[in-house]
Amino acid sequence: MTGNLYLDLLISLGGVAVLVLVSFLLGGWKSATLDEAAARDRLAFDEPDFRPSEWLFGGDGKSAAALSEDGAEAAFVFALGDGLATRRAALGAVPVKVEGDKIVASLHDPSKWALTLAAGSPEEAARWAGRLSGAGYIAPHGNDIP
């Protein structure tokens, strides 16, 4: 790179910084709250043939998980900035582990390697981890086996 190119780069970075700062000052730094309506809406849009039976809405308003009616799949909805995204997988295909009252699901997605779900309590986390891993899941509203 020549000196001029370095200067161009510096000016361009300055321009980016100014625009980002203005966006921030105008209230652009936003985080979506993942309430039930938003999660259902996003999942219905992204995966219209996924029929959710039961939901776990993370206590931090950042993520949610749903089990399908047929007991074969799970879906995850999570917030990114002011937007939402979903991931869908067969039960058991996503490794999950419990960390206190949280569930950590390894999505193996380059843009979202792991998803943390705030389950509310260690017991609830263990119960949902069992369901998401495919073990202990019987049927919607059936026996809850952690």
Partner 1 sequence: MEMTFPDVVTLAVPGFVLLVLIEMAIWRATKRGRYETRDSAASLLMGLGSQIAPLLGGGALVFAAYVAAYEITPLRIPNTWWAVVLAFVLDDFRYYWWHRISHERRWFWASHIVHHSSQHYNLTTALRQPWTGGIIGPLLFKTPLILLGFHPAMILFVGGLNLIYQFWIHTEQIGRMGPFEWVFNTPSHHRVHHATNPRYLDANYAGALIIWDRMFGTFVPEQDEEKCRYGIIKNLGTFNPLVISFHEWFGIARDVKNARSPKEALGYMFGPPGWSPDGSRLTSKMIKERWARMRGEANANGPPPSPVLQPAE
Q: Which residues contribute to the site for partner 1 (CB under 8 A)? A: 1, 5, 9, 12-13, 15-16, 18-20, 22-24, 26-30, 32, 38, 41-42, 44-46, 48-49, 78, 80-87, 107, 109-112, 115
Buried b (16+ CB within 10 A) or exposed e, 40-75: eebbeeebeebebeeebbbeebbbbbbbbeebebbb
CB of 67 to partner 1, least distance (A): 19
**DSSP E strands, 51-136:** 52-57, 63-68, 73-80, 83-90, 96-99, 102-109, 112-118
Nearer to partner 1, 78 or 128 (CB): 78
Closest Cα to residue 62, out of 24, 105, 27, 15?
105
CB of 104 to partner 1, least distance (A): 14
**CA dist 39 → 50, 110, 138, 140 (Å):** 13, 22, 24, 19
CB of 144 to partner 1, least distance (A): 28
Nearer to partner 1, 1 or 3 (CB): 1
Nearer to partner 1, 39 or 56 (CB): 39
Nearer to partner 1, 32 or 126 (CB): 32
CB of 140 to partner 1, least distance (A): 19
